[in-house]
Amino acid sequence: MPTLHLLLDGQDLPHTVQTDETVLGRHPECQLQINSNMVSRKHARVVKEGGRYLLEDLGSGNGTFLNGKKLEGPAEIKHDDRIKLGPILLRFEAAELGGRPTPGQVAAMPFDEGIDDEDDTATITGQSIPSTGFGRLEVQPQAKLKAVLEISRSLAGTTDLEALLPKILDTLFKVFPHADRGCILFKTEDGRMIPKATKHRRASEDETVKVSRTILRKVMTEKTGVLSADAANDARFEASESISNLTIRSMMCVPLLSLDGEPVGVISIDTQNPFNQFKEDDLDLLVAVAGQAAMSYESAKLLVTALEKQKQDREMGIAMDVQRALLPTDMPKPESWEFFASYDSAQAVGGDYFDCMFLPDGKKVCFAFGDVAGKGVPASLVMSKLSTVVTITTQFVNDVQKAACRINDQMCTKAVEGRFVTFIIGFIDPDTGDMEAVNCGHMPLMIRKVDGTIEEIGEAEVGLPLGVMEGYPYDVLKRRLEPGETVVLYTDGVSEAMNPNSDLYGMDRLRELVHSSVAGKAEDLGKTILADVRKFASGRAQNDDITIMVIGRGA
């Protein structure tokens, strides 16, 4: 059957014409869908009439061209005819001649296909030494300096990587005025060579350029440039389909080396002028120019990466401000009570959470404290959801057990696997000191009594973290806070903080610090704990979010 070959991004994408009518366009219903804004939804069609095929435009915006001429009505297409839909190029291949390669096309190609390993270098007239980037400096030093300055000047300040590569080819055509065609290919992660830029000295030439797989393999594996007097007749390259039907009089192909000396791509230029063939000095000059081009490309990539990093940092700064806005700026201040909280994320945003507010009845104070599994952006998104759920729930529910159950059910809805939350919610009556709390998988509450002894409560009542099981029945912890007692809540960023020797801060040190504090002074104790953690870390980078809440009842 005949085939339409879509030549897109250097790749040959074949489509077999199996029906009497094949519609080409952007719409998903088209038999050959082309994802390009320059192509109309239903751009053109190929119709079979008897033993021939007709091409017809369907009122497209950018027109349909056959062999360079715009269609005004149906026209017969034959083998190897060129079809253009706006800027998109296709080739029609008749059934009886299927499989023949397209002249001038650079296809994405692996190194190990179509290679003839016979040791015959009959027409290879030279090759460069394994390159370190700039070839032999003693060869044509004046010409090399001029070429390197020329390409440096033309590429200076360019950060658009797509625009930089064509500029490299433009400069090479100035350095080698007898070059007819050129292309730049880069290696992908899966080892394929993808063309990124092509250039022809004559505008009437086909838009694509063809390069031998074998030449590419030699250049990339040996890090050496190749000079061939007539690659089409070189016995080493006869088995490579990618150069058949061509008559390359003279060609050069050199590697593009990264800053660490590894080949990331190639530059290939050729001439069809038999009177101006490339020489070994030209090859060494191209190696030098390619070295500067590769450095310019790597520098542009680093600059683009730096600019993207700056943009991400600005966006993360905005995200940090948004997350901080979800946390309370002022704490409740009932008479004889003190509430304090501090939040320090390991990254710009984090997964720790706290809130403290009066309930709608104005009598009880609600405190909420949580730690999302993980840190960074994913944890911060879960934390944002938790903040919203807690705020809404506490406006309508004044029973701590029902509040915990509803919050858990909401966090289970559309929960992300592995993103559970350890959480504590409690209600305190400031007049009586009565506290009711529910512990959802978090560390027990630490209470400093008036005599300085430490009591950790709620271990028996600890339930599952939020987001693990919908409908989980949580137990309620009840305790009256006496005058002079202090409650401490903390995330594992405190107890698991590490110093440069990887020693843990630990629970014993935290208990001793709380024991030695002043009774009922919440803010002083909270700041002391944070300062002690920082002192213990001795400058080591914070590896987890650190959040502390301290509630103190005056003596």
Asked if the model's pLDDT at residue 243 lies above 60, the reply is no
Asked if the model's pLDDT at residue 124 lies above 70, the reply is no
pLDDT at 122: 31
Taken as a whole, the chain contains a residue count of 555
Asked if the model's pLDDT at residue 295 lies above 70, the reply is yes
Instruction: Give the DSSP H/E element, type plus range, for residue 488.
Output: strand 486-490
- In tens, the pLDDT along 99-109 reads 343 333 344 44
Residue with more model confidence, 125 or 491: 491
Asked if the model's pLDDT at residue 341 lies above 90, the reply is yes
Long-range contacts, stretch 509-514, CB < 8 angstroms, 24+ apart: 509/536, 510/446, 511/446, 511/454, 514/446, 514/448, 514/454, 514/486, 514/488
pLDDT at 292: 77
Average pLDDT on 336-342 reads: 94
Please report, to the nearest 10 degrees, the dihedral formed by the alpha carbons of residues 523, 528, 529, 534 taken in order: 130
Asked if the model's pLDDT at residue 508 lies above 90, the reply is yes
pLDDT at 10: 57
pLDDT at 551: 95
Residue with more model confidence, 458 or 534: 534
Mean pLDDT across the chain, nearest whole number?
Answer: 81
The 3 state secondary structure assigned to 427-453 is EECCCCCEEEEEEEECCCEEEECCCCC
The two structure tokens encoding residue 514: 């709380």
DSSP bridge pairs for 102: none
List the one residue out of 150, 158, 132 whose CA is nearest residue 254.
132
Residues 6+ apart with CB under 8 A from 451: none
pLDDT at 235: 45
Asked if the model's pLDDT at residue 440 lies above 80, the reply is yes
Q: How far apart are CA 386 and CA 352, in angstroms?
A: 10
Average pLDDT on 393-419 reads: 89
14-28, 183-197, 229-243: range with lowest mean pLDDT:
229-243
Judged by phi (left if over 0) then psi (alpha if -120 to 50, else beta), residue 308 lies in: alpha
pLDDT at 274: 66
Average pLDDT on 85-101 reads: 68
Residue with more model confidence, 349 or 404: 404
pLDDT at 342: 92
93-102, 277-286, 345-354, 526-535: range with lowest mean pLDDT:
93-102
DSSP bridge pairs for 4: 15, 92
Asked if the model's pLDDT at residue 456 lies above 70, the reply is yes
Torsions phi, psi for 394 (to 5 deg): -70, -10
Average pLDDT on 47-58 reads: 90
Asked if the model's pLDDT at residue 134 lies above 70, the reply is no
Residue with more model confidence, 115 or 333: 333
Asked if the model's pLDDT at residue 432 lies above 60, the reply is yes
Query: What percent of the chain stands above pLDDT 70?
Result: 81
pLDDT at 109: 44
The two structure tokens encoding residue 78: 């034959």
pLDDT at 461: 84
The two structure tokens encoding residue 165: 């590569």
The two structure tokens encoding residue 267: 């530059």
Q: How far apart are CA 5 and CA 12, in angstroms?
A: 6
Beta strands in 80-135, from DSSP E residues, in sequence order: 82-85, 88-93, 124-127
137-151, 316-330, 435-449, 533-547: range with lowest mean pLDDT:
137-151
List the one residue out of 30, 62, 34, 35 whose CA is nearest residue 46.
30
Asked if the model's pLDDT at residue 231 lies above 70, the reply is no
List the one residue out of 373, 378, 368, 376 whose CA is nearest residue 326.
368
DSSP bridge pairs for 438: 425
Asked if the model's pLDDT at residue 171 lies above 60, the reply is yes
pLDDT at 427: 97
Average pLDDT on 377-401 reads: 91
pLDDT at 22: 93
Query: What percent of the chain stands above pLDDT 90?
Result: 33
Residue with more model confidence, 303 or 546: 546
Asked if the model's pLDDT at residue 146 lies above 80, the reply is no
pLDDT at 44: 93
Average pLDDT on 316-339 reads: 88
The two structure tokens encoding residue 386: 């938790």
Instruction: Give the DSSP H/E element, type plus range, for residue 366.
Output: strand 365-372
- In tens, the pLDDT along 460-489 reads 889 999 999 999 999 999 999 999 999 999
Q: How far apart are CA 81 and CA 239, in angstroms?
A: 26
Average pLDDT on 177-194 reads: 84
127-141, 179-193, 232-246, 364-378: range with lowest mean pLDDT:
232-246
Q: Measured between alpha carbons, how far is residue 45 from residues 24, 54, 73, 188, 476 in Å?
A: 6, 8, 12, 34, 72
Average pLDDT on 542-548 reads: 89
pLDDT at 394: 93
pLDDT at 154: 64
pLDDT at 458: 81
